[in-house]
Structure 1
């Protein structure tokens, strides 16, 4: 086992810990909502908001992830399912999206709740996935969901071009076989497109997938509530 985790970056406590910074981020997200709802481009909106509030790069990244237009929020909420809707259904997981977010959460990295109710982190793959200390625990959380929800099958979809995707596929496949779970783990060259076109129910916090999928389930919210997980949470919406 290695000593890697997906915890905080140096400086994250300064950027996301103080109440003053969190209030600034909440205001920035509200401004982004206003601009996006009126048709402004996301990149231009983020630049404008970032300049106004003098945000650092990681703060802007968190604001972009948490923001959405009124139409996007309405669309996403209309397709969100409850756990009771999943019984005997096939659920597709956006593999790296789900796994890395859970690893970050378990590593006590900052997790951000957006306007659409989804949770996101600031980790990135950059073409290579590296297993961390929390990988197995993250997979075990998905296993608990599998058992609790009584879904028919879970299908993990990973990015084939990402280095080590084959290794994580084999690790999860071995775990499923050892624990007698009906899981499939597939590699796709364009997982986002595959999930939108093939999944009736998808688990992801990717904005493009949420905008174009048929239905989705908020697995992270479910696990936080069900397992009473300790989360280093930054709410990016006004209470």
Structure 2
């Protein structure tokens, strides 16, 4: 088995691998998600963190494939309207810069697993991450880019202001705002959504994993908890 779970001992690697496969199987058999996660977690004596990895990274085949079918690559962004889930993308890229493990889910999304949202603060790393994000946008140049930040979170207005300055510097059409509930404004049918939040991916018509693409371009890393192979081949067990 490949080392899919950085930072875990070999024994826990094996346990989490088996638990993920069982959780995937139960999802394919349409068991209630919460009950299936509890059963698998208790059977393999998973920690709270390990259960959260499964919850954020493993989905039944139909759900995973439906999301993957709506995913758009970087080359599809040119001239398109892009709506960015600001904190989602920003925090994920910052985690990569800091060398924190990220999660590759089997629905095609890369997600942050450090749980920093409630404690998020602007730092020098924030500036580095913003530079990386806008370097990517400068290369692939969407027709319009709108950043939406979660207003209740600290420094959301400052992040929005920093994005507006960078958009102007690059000559990109767009805006950046702090709004009470960003998710309500992210699913306009004509726009591609940039983010990895599960509810947003299900509600939108097209999405782009901006954080993942930015990381691959600017600071490729292998610090992934990787569930991406739990699809198709594993479904034969169902």
Tell me whether the two structures share a fold, i.e. TM-score over 0.5: yes
Q: CA deviation at 1:228?
A: 5.0
Q: CA deviation at 1:99?
A: 0.5
Residue 156 (str. 1) matches residue 141 (str. 2): no
- Asked if 1 retains the 8 angstrom alpha-carbon contact of 2:93 and 2:215, the reply is no
Partner-residue secondary structure (3-state), 1:112: strand
- Asked if 2 retains the 8 angstrom alpha-carbon contact of 1:159 and 1:191, the reply is yes
- Asked if 2 retains the 8 angstrom alpha-carbon contact of 1:196 and 1:213, the reply is yes
Q: 1:98 to 1:110 in 2, by over 3 A?
A: same
Equivalent of residue 177 in structure 2, options 154, 169, 186: 186
Rounded Cα–Cα distance in structure 1 between residues aligned with 2:159 and 2:215: 24
Q: 1:181 to 1:119 in 2, by over 3 A?
A: same
State how 1:27-46 maps to structure 2 within 5 Å. 27-46=18-37
Q: CA deviation at 1:138?
A: 1.0
Q: CA deviation at 1:143?
A: 0.7
How many residues of Structure 1 are paired with residues of Structure 2 in the alignment? 225
- Asked if 1 retains the 8 angstrom alpha-carbon contact of 2:138 and 2:170, the reply is no
Partner-residue secondary structure (3-state), 1:120: strand
Aligned to 2:78: 87
Aligned to 2:205: 214
- Asked if 2 retains the 8 angstrom alpha-carbon contact of 1:105 and 1:111, the reply is yes
- Asked if 2 retains the 8 angstrom alpha-carbon contact of 1:86 and 1:150, the reply is yes
Q: 1:105 to 1:48 in 2, by over 3 A?
A: same
Rounded Cα–Cα distance in structure 2 between residues aligned with 1:23 and 1:95: 35
State how 1:71-86 maps to structure 2 within 5 Å. 71-86=62-77
Q: 1:223 to 1:178 in 2, by over 3 A?
A: closer
Aligned to 1:50: 41
User: What is the TM-score normalised by the length of structure 2?
Assistant: 0.84
User: What is the TM-score normalised by the length of structure 1?
Assistant: 0.84
Aligned to 2:104: 113
Q: 1:142 to 1:210 in 2, by over 3 A?
A: same
Q: CA deviation at 1:15?
A: 8.1
- Asked if 1 retains the 8 angstrom alpha-carbon contact of 2:77 and 2:142, the reply is yes
* Of 227-236 and 130-139, the range deviating more from structure 2: 227-236
Q: CA deviation at 1:53?
A: 1.5
* Of 198-207 and 218-227, the range deviating more from structure 2: 218-227
Rounded Cα–Cα distance in structure 2 between residues aligned with 1:167 and 1:176: 14
Aligned to 1:17: 8
Extract unaligned runs of 5+ from structure 1: 1-13
Rounded Cα–Cα distance in structure 2 between residues aligned with 1:207 and 1:238: 18
Rounded Cα–Cα distance in structure 2 between residues aligned with 1:42 and 1:132: 37
Q: CA deviation at 1:185?
A: 0.5
* Of 222-231 and 148-157, the range deviating more from structure 2: 222-231
